[in-house]
């Protein structure tokens, strides 16, 4: 075996192995079916060590994606309050994150997901299990309608991010955030809670 | 000078040089300010040759982007008919293209635009000058409101494409096209023609 120069076994290598195994397992099995045990097995470490370094499965998932934010910390405030304004609050939250220093990491993640099937799977799992599932539960959306409603919401929010931050189509690219909240919020609200004739 | 092996000067090389010059000039100056003369100059050929091979500036632009479709042929049918259903018809047209064999080229173009600043500029020019500008003119949208309305429409349509064809979030990824037309069409219509309180 060739010892790689300049690197020694240690915490950083172990953490890196766990993160690589986590990306692989989360992408292959999806978030729900991935287990800390399987990830530890792939990384060749004890499951207790995974918990020690990363805490919960959610935290490990966020770390493996280099997520700049933790939706479990940010979503509750956006989701509480009048139900008929949840769309506005969600768009405001998303723009707040992307317009902040964390936005650069979000752009990098989105770009990578566009060109790499594995990152696309991870991003899909992230959006579905960490964002949409919480939104649907908190807003009390009909269980049968929830998957389509939340994926429709994702079309509008992903598109806003792509056009504003990646393709940079004006005037959306440099519009004031509150103008976009007023413009796009009602479309998100429609997907969340309005009647959708011809759909359901 | 080293002569590249296996290639001879000829029509294919000339066409390729013109297409490369076109991509460069369209991305640098934008569609409106790019001229056949400037492109011919960069490619080191006579402008008449560019017209001979590619026809109009529009056709050259589409060829330089590997566009799978020509919006000037497809848009008129989608834009004619009841104005209050233009959103439905536009979503139907977009899904029809992306669900067809041409969809693979559209996915490739979108992916490339996400990771490459130059392709992003070309795609932005394409969307603005070839699609949105026609839609706005045909639908008689207020000139001052048109840029923002059409960019908002782009957020919804780009997002639908990203979620259905690239990230493949279910159930949007495998939904029936007409179900998505019913779901997303009214959001596009809203951006095109509805009052947008807090925006204008």
Domains defined along chain B, listed by start: 11-64 (1.10.10.60), 71-193 (1.10.357.10)
Task: Name the 3-class secondary structure at B68.
Answer: coil
Closest chain B residue to the Cα of A128, Cα to Cα = B169
CB-based contact A183 B115, cutoff 8 Å: no
**Displacement of CA A118 from its chain's centroid (Å):** 14
H/E stretch holding A86: helix A86-99
Query: What percent of chain A is predicted at pLDDT more than 90?
Result: 72
What's the pLDDT band for A54 if we cut at 50, 70, 90?
very high
Q: What residues of chain B, 146 to 185, have a C-beta less than 8 Å from chain A?
A: 147-148, 151-152, 154-160, 162-164, 166-172, 175, 178-179, 181-184
Q: What is the pLDDT of residues A70-109, one digit of tens each?
A: 998 999 989 999 999 999 999 999 999 999 999 999 999 8
**Reported ipTM exceeds the 0.85 cut:** yes
Note every long-range contact of B127-134, with CB atoms under 8 Å and residues 24 or more positions apart, other chains counting: B127/A167, B127/A169, B127/B154, B128/A169, B128/B31, B129/B31, B129/B32, B130/B31, B130/B58, B130/B61, B130/B62, B130/B71, B130/B72, B131/B71, B131/B75, B134/B71, B134/B72, B134/B75, B134/B79
Q: Which residue among A123, A169, A190 places its CB closest to the CB of B128? A: A169
Q: What is the pLDDT of residues B97-151, one digit of tens each?
A: 999 999 999 999 899 898 888 889 999 999 889 998 888 888 989 999 999 999 9
Residue A3 pLDDT: 47
CB-based contact A120 B164, cutoff 8 Å: no
- The distance of B15 to chain A (nearest Cα, Å) reads 28
DSSP secondary structure, B121-181, as one string: HHHHHIIIIIIIHHHHHHHT--TTTHHHHHHHHHHHHHHHHIIIIIS--TTTTTS-HHHHH
**Displacement of CA A166 from its chain's centroid (Å):** 17
CB-based contact A155 B160, cutoff 8 Å: yes
Mean pLDDT of chain B: 91
Closest chain B residue to the Cα of A157, Cα to Cα = B159
Residue B158 pLDDT: 95
pLDDT at B28 over 50: yes
Q: How far, in Å, CA of B146 to CA of B43, rounded?
A: 35
What's the pLDDT band for B11 if we cut at 50, 70, 90?
confident
Residue B115 pLDDT: 85
pLDDT at B10 over 70: no
Contacts of A199 in chain B (CB under 8 A): 179, 182-183
Residue B12 pLDDT: 84
Q: What residues of chain B, 121 to 140, have a C-beta less than 8 Å from chain A?
A: 123-124, 127-128
Q: What is the pLDDT of residues B128-138, one digit of tens each?
A: 899 988 888 88
Q: How many CB pairs under 8 A join A and B?
A: 142
- Give mean pLDDT, residues A130-144: 89
> For residues A182 and A143, which has the higher predicted lDDT (pLDDT)?
A182
- Give mean pLDDT, residues B26-32: 93
Q: What is the pLDDT of residues A98-111, one digit of tens each?
A: 999 999 999 998 99
Asked if A108 has any chain B CB less than 8 Å from its own CB, the reply is: no
Residue A29 pLDDT: 94
Which of A116, A152, A173 is the best mutation test for B, with the most CBs of B within 10 A? A152
Q: Which residue in the block uniquely carries the two structure tokens 């790499």?
A: A116
Residue B7 pLDDT: 47
């Amino acid at each position: 075996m060739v010892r790689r120069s300049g690197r020694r076994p240690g915490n950083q290598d172990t953490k890196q192995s766990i993160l690589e195994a986590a990306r692989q397992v989360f992408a292959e099995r999806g978030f729900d079916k991935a287990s800390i045990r399987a990830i530890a097995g792939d990384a060749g470490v004890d499951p207790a060590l995974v918990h020690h370094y990363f805490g919960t499965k959610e935290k490990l998932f966020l770390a493996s994606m280099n997520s700049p934010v933790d939706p479990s910390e940010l979503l509750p405030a956006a989701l509480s309050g009048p139900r008929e304004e949840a769309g506005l609050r969600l768009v405001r939250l998303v723009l707040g994150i992307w317009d902040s220093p964390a936005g650069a990491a979000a752009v990098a993640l989105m770009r990578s997901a566009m060109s790499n099937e594995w990152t696309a799977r991870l991003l899909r799992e992230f959006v579905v299990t960490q964002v949409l599932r919480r939104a649907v539960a908190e807003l009390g959306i009909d269980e049968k309608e929830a998957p389509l409603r939340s994926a429709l919401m994702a079309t509008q929010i992903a598109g806003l991010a792509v056009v504003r931050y990646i393709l940079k189509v004006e005037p959306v690219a440099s519009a004031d955030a509150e103008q976009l909240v007023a413009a796009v919020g009602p479309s998100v609200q429609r997907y969340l809670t309005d009647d959708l004739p011809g759909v359901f």
